Chain A
Amino acid sequence: MSRNAPIAIPDDVRSRLKALRLLPRRARGAHGIGQHASRSRGAGLEFAQYRAYEPGDELRQIDWKLYARSDRFFVRESERESPITTWVLIDATASAGQHDRARPEWSRLDHACATAACLVELALQQSDRFGVIAISGEGVQLVPAGHGARQRDRVHLLLRQLQARGSWPPVTSLAPIWERVQAGDLLVALGDGFDEAGIVLLERLAAARREVLHLQLLTAEERDFPFTDGHRFRDPETGEELLGDGRAIREDYLARFETAQRALQARLQNSGIVHATGYLDQPLDQPLRALLGAGGGA
């Protein structure tokens, strides 16, 4: 994807996006009026509770029928539908620059940015606040949470500037995430899930009452290992190289990779992180449906 072209969401994906909802299980809207259940009480459709009248309450909030039965003033309260804050966390380390040989112009980072654009569209549909965090070797780049179409443009501006480089930064440089992502916010992490430090970060975020979803993006080659010749495989982050014959090491790799994937899933599940896996040769919304369909039931 060209760095200058806007992040275009294919039309078919865009139409299918309309059926998706960013529904958190735990996260609650805090302020304002939105689509999510919130802890703030007020005027609304969903009955929450009766409470005793206190001086200062509006008279029209008093439930007069109840007064007639009980001879006491009760105020009827409803739950307010409030917006939530959605964060998209993009792993932009060097491994995100990997691409399939069949489609060399479409890297994992391109796929992640397009997925992030889809998530932003979803948040925009729901009038949620949204922000973007990109983690690369240089540290953290982020767009503070906001709402509206202009916020989307700011997000796209950041996404278009992203470049895959470096390895996972040290924990100290991740402080902006903890400052920005509040408890109760929804955070969707996009990345390959190969960085141990990245998984640890998600676990800690989830433990700190952030609703974390993890969308693992894998290339088709990582899934199928279609190499038949000798290749020099290189880890883009460590620079480590390995000379191997594709046919000879395929089966072993697939078995070990499958095991590692299962371990990762189990680990994320233990931490209450919803996990889904998408591949670069799939439509953008396919893993989102798995992710949000499973996690957005609340």
Chain B
Amino acid sequence: MSLLFPLGLLALAAWLVPLLIHLARRHQYAPLDFAALRWLRARIRPRQRVRFDEWPLLLVRLLLLAALALLLARPVLHGGAADTHPVTVVAPGLDGAALRGQNVQGDWRWLAPGFPTLAEGAPAPTQPLASLLRELDQTLPAGTPLTVYIPDPMPGLDGERPRLSRAVTWQPVPLAPPAARVGTPPRLQIGGSIAEGEQRVLAAIQRAWSDQPLSPARAADTAPDDGQLGVWLAAAPLPAAWQAWVQRGGSVLVAPGAAGTGWMPALRDAHGNVVLEHRTEGSGRLLRFSAALSPTALPAVRDPGFPRQWLAVIAAPAAPTLAPAATQAPLRGAAAPVPAPRELAPWLLALIVLLFALERVMATSPRRGAGA
């Protein structure tokens, strides 16, 4: 048992009140007729012993205050018998009802945030399944058997294979993954005037990327479309329409030696020389080559792998999102889940109500007036 808010015990200072009440009352005695007074010796009482009237009532009142202070201190109880009934989780996207079949007794839940029961309907897959598995593992008490129905191939992976604290019954269910999105490489969109040699190089790169010719150059007041890579190699500064597009998230290749600070190297050649630099601009970014885009000024252009390298810079390949479920069976060895402490507040509240009722009964009993 421990206290979440030990400062709440400061409320025990309220004990002073009933103690003082019960202490002060002893001086209010009505005079007692005693004819044999002359044989009483009025000696100074040896030691004023602290004595209390009606100590049962005082005890109840102190207990009541102690319970209230304890309630403020928020006690929690560690240990105790944990609920270790088997739990089965089904990843969203699977047909939970069909998997469950006739088994209506077990605890079946969705592998989704909050782990709702199957009856609440399939939630939308929003979080990585691996992360949810770790959370579930730490939520369930140690020793709870866990069965996981997972689609095969398994989506929702993250950086590490799940490592759980318990053995898991791993049940891959074949499920066709949603149609893979085919990544389309960006198209170059030239704007403004451009040198003949540079256009030739860009055309070659565009052809290397998507085997398509360059689209015709656009005027200064027409920004590139989304998904395109703008090219503005003219000496004139970037026009307003293009700048606005960059601010919204576009990427534009500008002339070497373009103004601005914060340029970061993005690509180096075999000798370690910086070939391509970039800097963010609003939500988008600007790119610039270290020299004019020609085989003579920029030897890296002659490298056959240059288009692919550049493509990797502007459109990084998508991380794998699917894996065979059998290979993603969780590993063992994670730290055992910390048992969740139980809050004692409801029991304390019941105790407080009981004590209060007892205190009222004792304080208002007719016998009390006669005894005092």
Which of B27, B38, B40, B51 is close to A249, meaning CB atoms less than 8 Å apart?
B40
**Chain A residues numbered 243-293 whose CB sits less than 8 Å from any CB in chain B:** 243-245, 248-249, 252-253, 256-257, 260
Encode A228-249 as 1/0 by CB contact (under 8 A) with B: 0111111111101111110011
Whether A245 touches B40, Cβ cut-off 8 Å, given contacts A221-B34, A236-B35, is no
Asked whether B29 is an interface residue with its Cβ less than 8 Å from the other chain, the reply is yes
**Chain A residues numbered 83-113 whose CB sits less than 8 Å from any CB in chain B:** 95, 97-99, 101, 108
Residue count of chain A within 8 Å CB distance of chain B: 33
Whether A95 touches B35, Cβ cut-off 8 Å, given contacts A244-B45, A252-B41, A253-B41, is yes
A105 CB, nearest partner CB in chain B, Å: 13
Asked whether B36 is an interface residue with its Cβ less than 8 Å from the other chain, the reply is yes
What B residues does A237 contact at CB under 8 A? 35
Asked whether A50 is an interface residue with its Cβ less than 8 Å from the other chain, the reply is no
Bound state CA distance, A154 and B43, in angstroms? 48
Whether A194 touches B29, Cβ cut-off 8 Å, given contacts A229-B51, A249-B43, is no
Residue of B nearest to A241 (CB): B31
Main secondary structure of the interface of A (DSSP, over half): mixed
What A residues does B36 contact at CB under 8 A? 192, 194, 222, 253, 257
Residue of A nearest to B43 (CB): A249
Bound state CA distance, A232 and B51, in angstroms? 16
Question: Can you list 23 residue pairs at the A/B interface with Cβ under 8 Å?
Answer: A95-B33, A98-B33, A98-B34, A99-B33, A192-B36, A221-B34, A229-B51, A229-B53, A232-B32, A234-B31, A234-B32, A234-B33, A234-B37, A238-B37, A241-B31, A243-B42, A244-B42, A245-B45, A248-B45, A249-B41, A252-B43, A253-B40, A260-B39
Asked if A235 and B38 sit within 8 Å, CB to CB, the answer is yes
Which of B29, B33, B39, B49 is close to A253, meaning CB atoms less than 8 Å apart?
B39
Residue of A nearest to B27 (CB): A230
Asked if B37 and A231 sit within 8 Å, CB to CB, the answer is no
What B residues does A108 contact at CB under 8 A? 35
Asked if B37 and A233 sit within 8 Å, CB to CB, the answer is yes
Encode B204-240 as 1/0 by CB contact (under 8 A) with A: 0000000000000000000000000000000000000
Bound state CA distance, A252 and B31, in angstroms? 21
**Chain A residues numbered 138-162 whose CB sits less than 8 Å from any CB in chain B:** none
Whether A231 touches B42, Cβ cut-off 8 Å, given contacts A98-B35, A240-B37, A242-B37, is no
A234 CB, nearest partner CB in chain B, Å: 4
Asked if A192 and B46 sit within 8 Å, CB to CB, the answer is no
